[in-house]
Amino acid sequence: MNKATRKAVIAGNWKMNMTPSQATALINEMKPLVAGADCEVVLCVPFVDIPAAIEAAKGSNIRIGAENVHFKASGAYTGEIAADMLKELGVEYVVIGHSERRQYFGETDQTVNLRTLAALNAGLKPIVCVGETLEQRELGYTETLLKFQTKMALTNVTADQLKDVVIAYEPVWAIGTGVTATADQADEGNGFVRAAIAEAYGADVAEAVTVQYGGSMNAKNAAELVAKTNVDGGLIGGASLKAADFSVIVKAASEQK
């Protein structure tokens, strides 16, 4: 398997934006713009927007994802959301280990792994985020860190389960900053992720895994980024809140085929 046969996934990460009624309006605007896309189109939305988003996306090619999931199946974890709850609503994907959760909410490589396993066990497709800070990059630790984060996230995930896993390489310094990694930096980072999977599971398994790039991907730079050998789509923050911009990114990924 190679880039031509791997599934490209363009996923929006709305972060803490959009009320349920705004979600409905935005998805209704997006639907005709992304119809017929030759890539997977996903919108990861705040928990409370999920029912409205699922309803609005019905009958379209837009899949709905969540932005986090707890690692326990149920119990006394006030304020948390379990994988089965998301599954029952019709959620298909879930972002796990976003750098904002690592930075602000105490997410660790270990909890990223536990959430990944919980999502897979419930039949959800995890979009697992990895990425280095600027300081780590400048110290020369990018490859070591990306490989470590990737392997930690996938501990006890079987090769068969890996078919449902998407990894997003999101350099922390490129998130929400308007500073995008160059296409070569994105390709290199995604390559480190794929190499880590190859080390753990073998090259054939690694070649089949979708690895996205994320970090200030927008309507202008998407085509160059998704053209790279190791870049199978993107995880998009700010530009996923604008129907026109998001649809240009989806089109760029579709045209890679």
Bridge partners for 125 per DSSP: 93
Bridge partners for 43 per DSSP: 12, 64
Task: Tell the residue number behind the tokens 């998805």, with chain if given.
Answer: 27
- 32 is an interface residue for ligand 13P by CB under 6 A: no
How many CA atoms lie less than 13 Å away from 138 in the CB half-sphere?
A: 5
- Has 70 been annotated as catalytic? no
Give the residue closest to ligand 13P by C-beta: 237
Are the CB atoms for 245 and 217 separated by under 8 Å? no
- Has 98 been annotated as catalytic? yes
Pick the binder of ligand 13P from 149, 210, 216, 247 (CB under 6 A): 216
How many CA atoms lie less than 13 Å away from 141 in the CB half-sphere?
A: 10
- The encoded tokens of residue 31 equal 């639907």
Rounded CA gap, 230 and 189, in Å? 9
Q: What is the DSSP string of 210-223?
A: EEEEESS--TTTHH
Are the CB atoms for 96 and 68 separated by under 8 Å? yes
Q: How many residues bind ligand 13P (CB under 6 A)?
A: 14
Pick the binder of ligand 13P from 126, 214, 222, 249 (CB under 6 A): 214
Bridge partners for 167 per DSSP: 128, 211
- 236 is an interface residue for ligand 13P by CB under 6 A: yes
Pick the binder of ligand 13P from 37, 53, 157, 235 (CB under 6 A): 235
- 102 is an interface residue for ligand 13P by CB under 6 A: no
Stretch that binds ligand 13P, among 194-202, 211-219, 224-232, 246-254 (CB under 6 A): 211-219
Stretch that binds ligand 13P, among 20-28, 70-78, 146-154, 215-223 (CB under 6 A): 215-223
- 112 is an interface residue for ligand 13P by CB under 6 A: no
List the catalytic residue out of 40, 67, 98, 107: 98
Q: Which is nearer to ligand 13P, 34 or 43 (CB)?
A: 43
Query: Which residues here bind ligand 13P, judged by CB under 6 A?
Result: 13, 98, 170, 175-176, 214-217, 235-239
The catalytic residue positions are 98, 170
